[in-house]
């Protein structure tokens, strides 16, 4: 297996150096998808750009279509905008617009400027004006529409006799429009097939079917899909004119992307966008965008310790417990953050349900805080033989655990209400608060009991 992979990347490089373009195209076309994804990430940026320049546009588009979206957009942004534009044009228009939308504004506009003005490019421009996770961004405009007066037999005959026209369209649903193009009904293909041919479309169509506005978000569309077993929903504009169809599959993919991005954002990968094939300086800069604010918040929190140097000097053992209280409170708080994030996603809670969160987290915080406090306090007593040291560190951890789960449970609700991404910002806010409170509790308890500790 290892050898096959090494073979592929060195084979690609060899063919590229020899200028054996035909063989290069063949090798790319015949490579298994997984190998292609891995090996093309291993080429350096220069070789990769050269590769896309050499091979035919069709072959390049074929490679892009095999890659994950993140890889394809990254590689498109590396190469010359004119070549990228050719590749986008060689791709089916929904894939092309999907990739363009995945790129940063200035990169995609550079590529769009290079695309020739045709009807298709106008369409592409309109498509990418919608957010990637909205109905307009996710829909396909290749729909099949008929008039209500047709019979089932006529529709089936039309489909079968002019099959060539319909082969690149979504025919899971046949839509029914009035003279102005406004959506009036829908007929699932399966109903069409399971109905006698003489019946009029208007007799079996679903009248005023469920549909979504072109601006609807993936989350809103998902709600509708959860209620009903539809494969797709018609998309209409403000005048109720049919614009396209958005499939359950496209919405699910958008939401999977979202959920992966939440995970990455919460781990400090801003907007969930890094791949190790990206340039080092870009990766470093993006990670620092998260680390920079974090180190400042950390210094702010640790500033609390600086106020208690005298206390620390008298009871140096406290320095051992400060990082433990800080870490454990962060752990407890992050659990509450994760549960709030999940319940927000599942729509079991809303931002205004803070009292429920306080109640439900408060009790668990008391239970877990008590147990963790006893564990840490016992370690302190066993280590130093001073029961007051145990009371100080155990008590501080117990109280801080309660505060942490309350803050952790509430912060995502507050951020959601303020329309800030809770996945990205909850962690730093939580740990800064819990560090400050934790250090304060340990050190102020210690200074109160100083005579017993020193």
Closest CB to its own copies among residues 49, 345? 345
CB of 267 to its own copies, least distance (A): 3
Is the Cα dihedral 66, 68, 73, 74 positive or negative?
negative
CB of 18 to its own copies, least distance (A): 26
Whole-angstrom distance between the N-terminal and C-terminal Cα of the chain?
A: 64
Closest CB to its own copies among residues 194, 448? 194
**How many Å apart are CA 394 and CA 452, to the nearest integer?**
16
CB of 126 to its own copies, least distance (A): 23
**How many Å apart are CA 336 and CA 410, to the nearest integer?**
8
Closest CB to its own copies among residues 437, 439? 439
Phi and psi torsions of 194, nearest 5°: -95, 20
CA dihedral 337, 340, 344, 347 (to 10 degrees): 160
**How many Å apart are CA 69 and CA 75, to the nearest integer?**
10
CB of 180 to its own copies, least distance (A): 27
Phi and psi torsions of 170, nearest 5°: -80, 110
CB 213 within 8 A of CB 220: no
**How many Å apart are CA 434 and CA 404, to the nearest integer?**
6
CB of 97 to its own copies, least distance (A): 16
Phi and psi torsions of 241, nearest 5°: -85, 135
Closest CB to its own copies among residues 113, 296? 296
Q: Mind giving me the DSSP string for 144-161?
A: EEE-TTSBHHHHHHHHHH
CB 214 within 8 A of CB 136: yes
CB 244 within 8 A of CB 139: yes
Closest CB to its own copies among residues 87, 192? 192
CB of 185 to its own copies, least distance (A): 18
Closest CB to its own copies among residues 181, 263? 263
Closest CB to its own copies among residues 26, 68? 68
Question: Cα–chain-centroid distance for residue 227?
Answer: 23
CB of 68 to its own copies, least distance (A): 5
CB of 209 to its own copies, least distance (A): 18
CB 257 within 8 A of CB 392: no
Closest CB to its own copies among residues 145, 171? 171
């Amino acid at each position: 297996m290892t050898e096959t992979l090494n073979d592929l990347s060195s084979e690609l490089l060899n063919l590229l150096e020899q200028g054996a373009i035909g063989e290069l195209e063949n090798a790319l076309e015949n490579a298994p998808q997984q190998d292609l994804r891995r090996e093309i990430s291993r080429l350096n940026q220069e070789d990769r750009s050269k590769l896309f320049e050499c091979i035919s546009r069709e072959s390049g588009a074929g490679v892009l279509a095999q890659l994950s979206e993140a890889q394809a957009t990254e590689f498109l942004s590396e190469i010359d905008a004119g070549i990228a534009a050719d590749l986008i044009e060689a791709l089916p228009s929904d894939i092309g617009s999907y990739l363009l939308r995945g790129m940063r504004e200035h990169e995609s506009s550079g590529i769009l400027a290079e695309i020739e003005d045709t009807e298709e490019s106008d369409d592409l421009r309109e498509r990418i004006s919608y957010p990637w996770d909205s109905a307009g961004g996710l829909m396909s405009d290749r729909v099949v529409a008929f008039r209500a007066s047709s019979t089932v037999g006529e529709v089936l005959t039309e489909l079968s006799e002019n099959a060539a026209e319909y082969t690149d369209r979504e025919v899971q649903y046949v839509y029914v429009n009035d003279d102005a193009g406004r959506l009036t009904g829908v007929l699932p293909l399966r109903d069409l097939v399971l109905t006698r041919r003489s019946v009029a479309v208007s007799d079996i169509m679903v009248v005023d079917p469920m549909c979504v506005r072109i601006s609807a978000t993936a989350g809103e569309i998902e709600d509708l899909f959860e209620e009903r077993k539809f494969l797709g929903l018609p998309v209409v504009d403000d005048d109720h004119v049919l614009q396209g169809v958005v499939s359950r599959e496209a919405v699910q993919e958008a939401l999977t992307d979202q959920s992966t991005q939440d995970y990455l954002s919460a781990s400090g990968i801003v907007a969930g966008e890094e791949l190790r094939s990206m340039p080092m300086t870009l990766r470093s800069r993006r990670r620092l965008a998260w680390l920079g604010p974090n180190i400042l918040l950390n210094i702010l929190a640790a500033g609390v310790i600086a106020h208690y140097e005298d206390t620390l000097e008298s009871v140096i053992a406290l320095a051992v417990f400060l990082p433990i209280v800080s870490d454990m409170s962060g752990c407890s708080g992050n659990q509450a953050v994760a549960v709030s994030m999940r319940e927000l996603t599942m729509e079991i809670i809303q931002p205004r349900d803070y009292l429920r969160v306080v109640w439900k987290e408060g009790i668990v915080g008391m239970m877990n805080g008590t147990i963790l406090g006893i564990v840490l306090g016992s370690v302190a007593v066993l280590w130093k033989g001073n029961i007051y040291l145990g009371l100080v560190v155990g008590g501080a951890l117990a109280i801080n655990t309660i505060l942490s789960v309350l803050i952790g449970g509430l912060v995502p609700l507050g951020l959601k209400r303020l329309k800030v991404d809770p996945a990205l910002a909850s962690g730093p806010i939580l740990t800064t608060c819990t560090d400050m409170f934790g250090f304060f509790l340990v050190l102020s308890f210690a200074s109160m009991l100083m005579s017993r500790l020193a």
